[in-house]
Structure 1
Amino acid sequence: MSSAPANYFCKLLPIEALYYIFEYMTEKEQLKFALTCSWLYRVFRIYHVGYALPKWYPLNIIDVHKVPSHESTEITERENVPNAPPAANYRDGALLNGKLYLTIFEEESPVCWILDFEVIPLSWKRVKVTFVEFESEDDNESSDDTEDKKLDLVPEIETHYQPLRSTAAAAISSMIYFFGGECLTGEPTGTLYVLDPIKMVLKKVMGQGGDIPSARKLHSLNAIGTQCLVLFGGRCLMNDSDNPKEYDIKEFHVYDISTKIWTMYRGPYDHVPYARCLHSVTVLEYTLYIYGGQQITSSTPESRIHDDDDLWCFTFNSPQQEDSIDEGQNTPEESSTSSKGSNGSRISSSFQLEKWQQIFSPRNNTSLAFSSGIGGEWHTTTGNNVGRRCGAAMFNVGKRVAVLGGFERNNWNRDYDRHDEEERRENQREVVKNPWELCKLYIPDKKRWDQVKIADFPEMECIAINMDHKGIFVMGRKRGDIEEQEITMGWIREELSNV
């Protein structure tokens, strides 16, 4: 037994057990342990960055109506996707029950493109959506009659259908919500839609109260638990008919879907993520992370990539904290993933007690401000620089926050500052080739940024969905593509895997 190779016994251990062992090792000890064999090094790579040898596998979008019949068999054998929605609204999708719903608010009537990840080969399905002008009795238990409900509507809120662009979507409690966007005239709106993905019925949410957000576009909307939606930032239009100007905001709202009440964050306004739009957002363990985006300032009236390469996070009350009050009222599954019922209301009203935290990029750690160390609402990090991006995908890989793709402000030369440019030329240091292939991963527990190269990944704005064992699904628009074109889609998978 003692003569057997050590890596043989390591392979008998579950991967989760090795991860647990890694947790109690220093980074140097982890590396020494990983270098004992190639298999352990692969596990070590997956533990740190999610993948050992990730590679980009594009999906070919084809029009099945234009393919000759004798090629139909070959199409089913290759990884092709028949048809696809236009690239204009690719960021407005919402994942629900293993399906990606991409609703497009066309001029005549809305349509929904559905991509079911459980059906192989992948195929987009285009479904017509029925718009309902008024809510029914089933949608509001307090209404006694549909006609009475019509009379109770707020007069200034239009109830007819409005085609939109640049809205934001979030799936919560088996429904999909859309807020804001831009009308065909270019004017932003503050409309809140809700879509029933089973009945394919769309309607406006009436009777909202509280701090209702102003009209905006290019903002973010995310679900927290099963009761609340969080909205941040966006681009608004000044109420000046003679000289209309757009401006970015940093407002932070929470919406309770059970009470229809909006609550605006009123903490220290000087310590809130800077005003921005088209930013990247993800939720990990009840923490909202915000990164990058565009900005308009008084000195730069045109949109530009934001100069903030730091990460901002806001942690809501965890289910464990909230459920301790209502222990036994929820199922184990509900208690482990979200706070339900009155818990959702408490999040909406008590999140004012929490504060934003700024997680500085490693590039900023060289500042004199960090020489003595900081804490509380500010955190320094180590590792690889993130860069300044717009339109990047932000998603979760295990307990890590990943940033992928997007367009960089400084032509992707993020390893060097402007002050370092002359020195770089003198030393003729090589700039990283195809730096958009680098996926940055933030580890909250370690306060560290790692990176992994995605071989053959194109330079593109995108969103990404981690489907775990299936890989990471990415779709977006490559540089130079126009909105009328079809979206670019593909998978990030292990190069040596058989999937």
Structure 2
Amino acid sequence: MLEDSRLLRLPTETLYIIMEQLNINDRKNLSQTCRLLYRMTTKFRFGFVSPEWEAVNVGITNSNIIASNYRDGVWSNNIFYLVIFFKDQPICWSLNLDARPITWTRTIIVLESPDSYEPVRYCAAAVITNSMYIFGGENIETEELSNVLYKLDMTSFKMVKIESSATTAPRKMHSLNAINSGRLVMFGGRCLMNGEMYDTQHFAIYDINNRCWSNIKSNNIPYRRASHSTIVLDEKLYIYGGQQINSSSASTETQIHDDKDIHLYDVRQENWNKIIAPYPDGSRLSPTLTLPSDWIKTDGSKVGRRVHAAIFSMSQRIIILGGKERDNFRYENETNEGRPWELLKSLSLEERNWDHIRIKGLPQMGCVAVVGEYKSETKGIFVVGKVHNDDDLIMGWIKDSIDI
């Protein structure tokens, strides 16, 4: 195809509409015709043409405390909220991506009942409207596991401890997500029984109006895990990665989970499905192989097995970014360029295809991330995280180095 063809004279918006009608192979063929269409198809697939890392240095005291607890935070309306439970009083740190320059704000939380206050870490949080719900964790004084449930008013910063008519087991390193305007969903985490730690596949739903937990039983529930990554899209909970204890002994080391697939729970249908990752060579499972009806085949690039990875949505795709890989990223060394942790993994739910794009200069770190406005009318990905076994806070933008 020539650079001056009639196709290239069409408006950019029209070209994107045309791309929506093409399958993945046709888009790849189109991208090989000229540089402009290559850039446009790349932009269509990932939201970026050539992404690169730009660090953001925000001066803050107690940055090591924030770095150690960053996975306890939650994004809401372009603001990252992180509650730190100190011995005597909780503090809420917030990071507003709409402010320029981006700065951390420290707010003292007012406790409705100071006598019932329980300081925890390794908890999980979710937001419904203007309220943040924080569940579980490890008591920072006694190091015992907790099943405390707090509700924080994000307007007044008043916090109340919620007493439930039915509750669930104490735990840490679990996940908590809002699935609609009235319910929270909790999965997995690390529990204690008879003095021994174990990772669980426990799945429960909390009704905020009835103040009651419901334990959900299922035969095809995901494997037990802790420190996994979750996202809710269209009332579907997606679970990826995590880690598990090798044995029941509290002194044994943990390992990153072998599971490279994604599990999803459909809230409306009340059932689980498994999105099967491609083989290491990127091929789809054999079409002659009979799979359970709740398994979904995918093809494309390898996914890998990570813990502390960010998971979020962008351009109608599920994105997996950062984290620590089970085999120290040897499993994901898909190119001869090295630095496989720079690869952003992208799953198209419609095409059931995995793809990846390299983010130049991305640090090797565990992280959480959100799509935000890098600059006026230009989207980027903002990342908060830390290097494993290090207390340095890392923040920055994933931005596009090429405009089209």
TM-score (norm 1): 0.74
Q: 1:263 aligns with which of 205, 214, 218?
A: 214
User: Structure 2 stretches of 5 or more lacking a match?
Assistant: none
Q: Is the Cα contact below 8 Å between 2:58 and 2:103 reproduced in 1?
A: no
2:272 is aligned to 356
Q: Deviations over 1:165-198 (max 9, x none)?
A: 1000111121000000000222110000010111
Q: 1:452 aligns with which of 350, 357, 369?
A: 357
Name the aligned partner's letter for residue 282 of structure 1.
I
Q: 1:130 aligns with which of 110, 116, 130?
A: 110
Is 2:251 the partner of 1:294?
Answer: no
1:59 is aligned to 56
| Secondary structure in 1 matching 2:58 | strand
- Residues matched between the structures, number: 394
Is 2:87 the partner of 1:107?
Answer: yes
Q: Is the Cα contact below 8 Å between 1:7 and 1:37 reproduced in 2?
A: no
Note the C-alpha offset of 1:465.
Answer: 0.8
Tell me the distance in 1 between the aligned counterparts of 2:75 and 2:370: 8
Note the C-alpha offset of 1:373.
Answer: 3.9
Describe the shift of the 1:387–1:202 C-alpha distance in structure 2 as closer, same or farther (beyond 3 A).
Answer: same
Tell me the distance in 2 between the aligned counterparts of 1:117 and 1:84: 21
Describe the shift of the 1:88–1:28 C-alpha distance in structure 2 as closer, same or farther (beyond 3 A).
Answer: closer
1:277 is aligned to 226
Describe the shift of the 1:368–1:493 C-alpha distance in structure 2 as closer, same or farther (beyond 3 A).
Answer: closer
Q: 1:47 aligns with which of 44, 49, 53?
A: 44
Q: After TM superposition, list the pairs within 5 Å mapping 1:162-201 onto structure 2.
A: 162-184=118-140, 185-201=142-158
Tell me the distance in 2 between the aligned counterparts of 1:4 and 1:368: 41
Describe the shift of the 1:4–1:61 C-alpha distance in structure 2 as closer, same or farther (beyond 3 A).
Answer: closer
Is 2:342 the partner of 1:385?
Answer: no
Q: Which runs of 4+ in 1 moved over 4 A?
A: 82-85, 364-371, 429-432
Describe the shift of the 1:409–1:32 C-alpha distance in structure 2 as closer, same or farther (beyond 3 A).
Answer: closer
More helix by proportion, 1 or 2? Answer: 1
2:265 is aligned to 314
Tell me the distance in 1 between the aligned counterparts of 2:306 and 2:113: 40
Is 2:201 the partner of 1:250?
Answer: yes
Note the C-alpha offset of 1:400.
Answer: 0.7
Tell me the distance in 1 between the aligned counterparts of 2:346 and 2:178: 22
| Secondary structure in 2 matching 1:307 | coil
Q: Is the Cα contact below 8 Å between 2:152 and 2:160 reproduced in 1?
A: yes
Tell me the distance in 2 between the aligned counterparts of 1:8 and 1:194: 54
State the Cα RMSD in Å.
2.6
Q: Is the Cα contact below 8 Å between 2:58 and 2:104 reproduced in 1?
A: no
TM-score (norm 2): 0.90
Tell me the distance in 2 between the aligned counterparts of 1:122 and 1:306: 35
Q: Is the Cα contact below 8 Å between 2:203 and 2:215 reproduced in 1?
A: yes
Note the C-alpha offset of 1:61.
Answer: 3.3
| Secondary structure in 1 matching 2:338 | coil
Q: Highest CA radius of gyration, 1 or 2?
A: 1
Q: Is the Cα contact below 8 Å between 1:7 and 1:36 reproduced in 2?
A: no
Note the C-alpha offset of 1:436.
Answer: 0.1
Note the C-alpha offset of 1:218.
Answer: 0.2
Q: Deviations over 1:96-134 (max 9, x none)?
A: 233211110111200011111111110101111111118
Note the C-alpha offset of 1:5.
Answer: 4.6
Note the C-alpha offset of 1:374.
Answer: 2.5
1:322 is aligned to none
Describe the shift of the 1:120–1:497 C-alpha distance in structure 2 as closer, same or farther (beyond 3 A).
Answer: farther
Is 2:397 the partner of 1:488?
Answer: no
Q: Is the Cα contact below 8 Å between 2:74 and 2:126 reproduced in 1?
A: yes
Q: 1:397 aligns with which of 289, 292, 314?
A: 314
More strand by proportion, 1 or 2? Answer: 2
Name the aligned partner's letter for residue 474 of structure 1.
V
Q: Deviations over 1:361-417 (max 9, x none)?
A: 11278799874242521122111111111111111112111111111111201148x
Q: Percent identity?
A: 36
Name the aligned partner's letter for residue 339 of structure 2.
N
Q: Is the Cα contact below 8 Å between 1:227 and 1:257 reproduced in 2?
A: yes
Q: Is the Cα contact below 8 Å between 1:83 and 1:124 reproduced in 2?
A: no
Describe the shift of the 1:459–1:129 C-alpha distance in structure 2 as closer, same or farther (beyond 3 A).
Answer: same
Q: 1:226 aligns with which of 181, 188, 193?
A: 181
Tell me the distance in 2 between the aligned counterparts of 1:167 and 1:402: 23
Q: Deviations over 1:309-332 (max 9, x none)?
A: 111111222xxxxxxxxxxxxxxx
| Secondary structure in 2 matching 1:95 | strand
